Structure 1
Amino acid sequence: MKNQIEKLYQIANKAERTIIGLMSGTSLDGLDVVCCQVSGSGAQTTLKVTHFHTVPYDDIIKDSIRKIFAKRQIDQQELCLLHPYIGVLHGQMINQCLSEWGLQPHQIDLIASHGQTVYHAPKKQHQIEGYANATLQIGDGDHLAVTTGIITLSDFRQKHIAVGGEGAPLAVYGDYYLFAEKGHNRILLNMGGIANFTVLPGSLEAEGIFTTDTGPGNTLIDAYMRRLFRLPYDDNGAAASKGVINATLLNIIKKAPFFDKPFPKTTGPEVFNFDFVESAIQQARLTTLSRNDIIATLTQFSADTIVDAIKKAIDPTQPYTIYGSGGGVHNPVLMAAIQAQLPNYPVLNLEVLGVTGDAKEAALFAVLANEAVAGDGEHFGFREGVPRVTMGKISFPA
C-alpha cells in the first residue's frame, strides 16, 4: 500500500496526467471510454482528448442490467453479482481500447469510472421521512483497478450526497473548469437519458453557476422506440418527423409533479418510464395513437421541458449561447424544437468548443478524478446543488 500511495503522490505532482474517463448512461448502449491529457486543476484545468471509443454492450449485458435498472423490487442476488461483474467487464473494455490505441497500462495514470447507475432516489422524489438523498452506481472500482493494473477513482456521486447534494448533475464542475469563458454567458446542455444543463456566467464567478436536471432527454423516446419499433433510438429523428404531436397527451405528461418542484432538482427513469406514459395514454383515452405520433409527442415533451427550465434559470436581458451534448444532439427534430422556442439563443453542438458531445461526460469524470488527486477545491459559494467537494473513492491495483 505504501508504494501505491507514493505513486499516487507522484501522479498528483505531475505537470500533466493521462486519465481515462468512463461513462455508461441510462441508454445502456455501451461504455464511453475517453483518454485525456489533463494539466492544472480548478479553473486552470486544461484537457485534450487523445482517444475516444464507445464499446457497445451486447444484448445479454443490456438485459441483465435492465432486470435491476430503475426498479424498486429486484432480485438482490442479481444486483450483488452484477456489481463486480460490471467492474471486470469495464476493465476488459479498457484493456481492449488500450490495445487498439497502441498504449500500455503503465502509460495511464488514472481511471475515472462513473459506473452504471441502477437507481436514483433524491429526497424530493422518495419523500421518506428520516432518509436523505441516495443514488446507486454499480461497477466495482477495486475490480476495475485489478483488471487493468491502473489506479481507479469511482463512486463519485456519494461524496456529493454526503455534503448535501443530490448526487447529480456532476457535470457542473467540469463544465466550469473547461468551458467557462470571460464575457460569454454559456449554457451547457446535456441530453442523455435525462437532460440537464449548467449555466456558466460570463463573469466567471463560480458562485453564479447554476445546474439542474430538466426531465427526460432521450429516456422515454428510447423506451418507446424499443417497444414500438424494436430499435434502440430514433435515428436522425426519423420516427418523430413522420408523426404529429398530440396536444392532449403532451399536456398531461407535462403536469408530472417533478416539474413543480423547486430548482435545483434531479430525476431519472425511476419516474419517467414506459408506465408513466402508458398511464397518461390511458387517462387521455388515446390507445389508438399511432406509434409515430407517440414518438413525435415525446420528442416535443423533452424539448418543451428543457426550454421551460432554461427560461426559468436565466436572465432574459442577457445573451446566451447554448452548447448541446449527449445523444440528443444527433436528433435534429429535438434540436430544432429547442431552437424554435429559444430563437434569440444560438443552439450549437459542443464540438465547436473542442470536445465532441459524445465524449463529454466521460471526459468530465476524468476532470473530477484530476481534481480529487491534484486540486485544491474550488469554492462555488453556498448555492444548493453545487457544494465545494472533491469526489471519487480510490482503488489501488493488487
Structure 2
Amino acid sequence: MAERFIGLMSGTSLDGVDGVLAEDAGPGLRVLAHVAAPFDAALRAELLALNTPGDNELHRAALAANAVALAYAQVVQQLLQQANWAPAQVHAIGAHGQTVRHRPQAFDGVGYTLQLLNPSLLAERCGIAVVADLRSRDLAAGGQGAPLVPAFHQAQFGQPDAALAVLNLGGISNLSVLPPSGQDAAVLGFDCGPGNALLDLWCQRHRGQAYDADGAWAASGQVHAGLLAALRAEPFFALPPPKSTGRDLFHADWLATRLAPFPGLAPADVQATLAALTAGTCVDAVRAHAPRATRLAVCGGGAFNGDLMRRLQAGLPGLQVVSSQALGLPPQQVEAAAFAWLASRTLRGQTGSLASVTGARGARVLGAVYPA
C-alpha cells in the first residue's frame, strides 16, 4: 500500500493555510484531497505584526505559534473528513509553519529562519506524527534554508527530455530550473523578489481588498518608469544565487522609501508598477538562469492573476507560460504537496534539500519528528 502524508503550508502572503492529503506515487505524489482555509483576521494581523520588531515578542510569538497549530489542525480534520480516513491511515504531517523572520547567514554567519508553529500541539490534536522545523538544518550546514521546493519540483514535474522552469508566485517569488531528468545536471532554485506581497499590501491599503483579483486594478494603471527604476535598484535583484528573501526586506517601509520621491502618483499606477516589478524580476531570472527551458509553469496564488501571467508571457515570448495545472498539479496545491513530500523523505532518512539550490555544504535530512 502506498504511504500517505499530509502537507500543510502557510506562506508569505499570510492569506491562510493550504493542506493536501497525498500518497506516494514515486518519485512524486498523487494528491487525493485539498483544503484551503483563510486565517482569521486577528491571527493574520498578529502574524503580520510579528514580521517586525515589537513589544513582548516572545509571549506573542508563542501564542501565535499555538494559534497556527490549531488552524493547521482544523485543516487536517477537514482533509480526513473529505477522504473519509482515520488519523492512523496517515504516516505523517509535513508542516511548514508561518515564517515571520528569515535572516540566513546574517549577524553571526549562520543566521536564523523562524517559522511559528507548535508542532507538539499539532501532533497532539491530530493524533498523527508531525515533521516540522524543515529549514533550520540547512542553515546549520551553511545554506539559505530556502527555497526547499525545487527538489520536489524535480521529483514531481521533471521531464526526461526537456528542461523546465517552475515559478512559484506566492508572497515572494521563487524559481526552480529543472534540467532534463535523464541528465547529470544540478537543479537550480532561488528567490527572485516580491511576488504578491507588495501587490496585496497596496491593494489592501487603497481598495480595502485582500488582493487584486485577476490583476484587474494593476491592468487599469500605467507603469511609472521612474518608480520602476527606483524599485529595481534594490541590490537583492543583482545578487547571484543562492539567495532567498522575505518580508524582512520587502515590506511597507521598503516601498514607502522608494515612493517618497514620486508624490501624487495615482494608486492604480503604483499597482501597475508593482506588477511590472514582480513580473520583470521573474522574467530576468528565467532569462539568466533557464535559457534552455521551453516552458514556464507557474504555481502559487499569482497563477490566478491574469495580469501577471500576461506580463510574464510578454517578457518571455519564446516560452510557453502555463499554470502548473498543465503539469497535473493545481497551483494552490504545489507548496503543500512539497511539504508532504519532504515529510516522507525525513521519515525515510532521505535528504530533502539540494546544495545546488541553498548553497549548503551538502544535502541534509531535514526537520524534526514529533510522534503521534
Instruction: Pick from 356, 367, 372 the counterpart of residue 346 of structure 2.
Output: 372
SS at 1:231 equivalent: coil
What is residue 8 of structure 2 aligned with on the other side? 22
1:244 aligns with 2:230: no
CA offsets per residue over residues 273-318 of structure 1, 9 Å max, x none? 1111111111x2x221111111100000001111112222133xx3
What is residue 9 of structure 1 aligned with on the other side? none
Instruction: Pick from 100, 115, 119 the counterpart of residue 101 of structure 2.
Output: 119
What is residue 11 of structure 1 aligned with on the other side? none
Instruction: Pick from 2, 18, 31 the counterpart of residue 32 of structure 1.
Output: 18
Normalising by structure 1, we get a TM-score of 0.88
Task: Give the aligned residue type for 2:2.
Answer: E
**Are 1:180 and 1:204, in contact at CA under 8 Å, matched by a contact in 2?**
no
What is residue 201 of structure 1 aligned with on the other side? 179
What is residue 277 of structure 1 aligned with on the other side? 255
What is residue 46 of structure 1 aligned with on the other side? 28
Note the residue ranges of structure 2 that are not aligned, 5 or more in a row: none
Instruction: Pick from 311, 314, 317 the counterpart of residue 290 of structure 2.
Output: 314
What is residue 44 of structure 2 aligned with on the other side? 62
Larger Rg, first or second structure (1 or 2) = 1
Alpha carbons of 1:138 and 1:384: their partners in 2 closer, same or farther (altered >3 Å)? closer
Alpha carbons of 1:58 and 1:377: their partners in 2 closer, same or farther (altered >3 Å)? closer
SS at 1:358 equivalent: helix
Percent of pairs with identical residues = 32
Cα displacement (A) at 1:207:
4.3
Alpha carbons of 1:198 and 1:83: their partners in 2 closer, same or farther (altered >3 Å)? same
CA offsets per residue over residues 71-98 of structure 1, 9 Å max, x none? 1344221012222232233113312332
What is residue 368 of structure 2 aligned with on the other side? 393
Alpha carbons of 1:338 and 1:74: their partners in 2 closer, same or farther (altered >3 Å)? farther
Instruction: Pick from 55, 62, 71 the counterpart of residue 52 of structure 2.
Output: 71
Alpha carbons of 1:384 and 1:62: their partners in 2 closer, same or farther (altered >3 Å)? closer
| Structure 1 residues 1-398: aligned runs within 5 Å | 15-40=1-26, 45-68=27-50, 70-76=51-57, 77-123=59-105, 126=106, 128=107, 130-202=108-180, 204-205=182-183, 207-282=185-260, 284=261, 286-315=262-291, 318-374=292-348, 376-377=350-351, 385=359, 387-397=362-372
SS at 2:168 equivalent: strand
Alpha carbons of 1:74 and 1:204: their partners in 2 closer, same or farther (altered >3 Å)? farther
What is the root-mean-square deviation of aligned Cα atoms in Å? Answer: 1.8
Count of residue pairs the alignment pairs up: 370
331-340 or 380-389, which deviates more? 380-389
Quote the Cα distance in structure 2 between the aligned partners of 1:206 and 1:115. Answer: 33
Alpha carbons of 1:206 and 1:67: their partners in 2 closer, same or farther (altered >3 Å)? farther
What is residue 5 of structure 1 aligned with on the other side? none
Alpha carbons of 1:378 and 1:245: their partners in 2 closer, same or farther (altered >3 Å)? closer
Note the residue ranges of structure 1 that are not aligned, 5 or more in a row: 1-14
Task: Give the aligned residue type for 1:330.
Answer: F
Alpha carbons of 1:383 and 1:158: their partners in 2 closer, same or farther (altered >3 Å)? closer
Runs ≥4 residues deviating over 6 A: none
SS at 2:345 equivalent: helix
Task: Give the aligned residue type for 1:72.
Answer: P
